């Protein structure tokens, strides 16, 4: 039987790469995006994740699924309300509406980010954010926890990691939920990340591991986690960042006090 997987953000970047890879594997892909999806999919839904009513309406038309891939997201160059509406609220609203259609043995894979570790809000604030259900509730949350767009991005990804873990527990034993946290990826919004996170920080990450990821490399990890081959992988966050955390930890451990940071040449091997 042909598997059917819904992919948000399927018009560009990692979402597009995932939709293409799944389709090449014979999966029936339902692509969700506010823009036109440039690869053939089984069905395309034009939906803006900031329109929660439209999200629920679109979900009602979706047939049974074997997987949900939450890839859509906006960077920290957007206003905080937009970042949180797309990255957290719209993603959660869509997923909750689709869960009754998720087949036994299915999986929910959500793309977060290694930027989640930059979040400065307490767990209680993230928990409340993950219960927001409307524009008014989001406005109230932001009034209590005012954030810039850049900080909202970090917080949104931390919220997704926490929400995905709770979802895994909630779905047991019928289905799985996993998050994936990429580092910098060569997508159309990489320039936005250079602006919101600082070009020096993004360049330094690339120098440490030799380059930035290609969208297909992150998509490959997501495709595996969506597949039956990952049937015992559940409730975790999978960093897909080329060894960046390991490089940072190792270099910090071996660097002598007062010595200069290792050159790009050494850390790029």
d(CA 131, CA 137): 9
The burial class, CB within 10 Å (0-12 / 13-18 / 19+), for 196 is: buried
The burial class, CB within 10 Å (0-12 / 13-18 / 19+), for 75 is: buried
Give the active site residues. 153
Beta strands at 65-70 and 4-8: parallel, antiparallel or unpaired: parallel
Q: Among the residues of the chain, which ranges form H helices?
A: 13-24, 52-59, 80-84, 91-98, 123-129, 135-144, 149-171, 190-197, 199-209, 215-226, 244-254, 264-267
Torsion of CA 204, 210, 215, 218, to 10 degrees: -90
Peptide bond before residue 173 is cis, with ω within 30 degrees of 0: yes
């Amino acid at each position: 039987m042909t598997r059917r997987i819904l992919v948000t953000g399927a018009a560009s970047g990692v979402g597009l790469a995932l939709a293409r890879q799944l389709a090449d594997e014979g999966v029936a892909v339902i692509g969700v995006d506010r823009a036109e999806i440039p690869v053939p999919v089984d069905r395309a839904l034009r939906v803006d994740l900031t329109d929660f009513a439209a999200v629920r309406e679109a979900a009602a038309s979706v047939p049974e699924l074997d997987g949900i891939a939450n890839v859509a997201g906006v960077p920290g160059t957007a206003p905080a309300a937009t970042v949180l509406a797309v990255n957290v609220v719209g993603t959660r609203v869509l997923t909750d509406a689709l869960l009754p259609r998720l087949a036994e043995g299915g999986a929910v894979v959500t793309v977060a980010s290694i930027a989640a570790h930059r979040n400065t809000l307490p767990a209680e604030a993230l928990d409340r954010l993950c219960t927001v259900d409307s524009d008014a509730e989001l406005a109230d949350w932001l009034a209590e926890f005012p954030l810039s767009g850049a900080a909202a991005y970090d917080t949104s990804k931390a919220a997704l990691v926490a929400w995905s873990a709770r979802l895994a527990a909630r779905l047991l034993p019928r289905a799985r939920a996993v998050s994936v946290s990429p580092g910098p990826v060569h997508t159309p919004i990489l320039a936005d990340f250079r602006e919101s996170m600082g070009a020096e920080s993004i360049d330094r990450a690339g120098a440490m591991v030799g380059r930035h990821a290609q969208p297909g490399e992150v998509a490959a990890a997501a495709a595996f986690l969506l597949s039956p081959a990952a049937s015992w992988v559940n409730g975790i966050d999978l960093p897909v960042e080329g060894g960046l955390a390991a490089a940072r930890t190792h270099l910090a451990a071996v660097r002598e006090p007062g010595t200069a940071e290792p050159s790009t040449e050494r850390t790029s091997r």
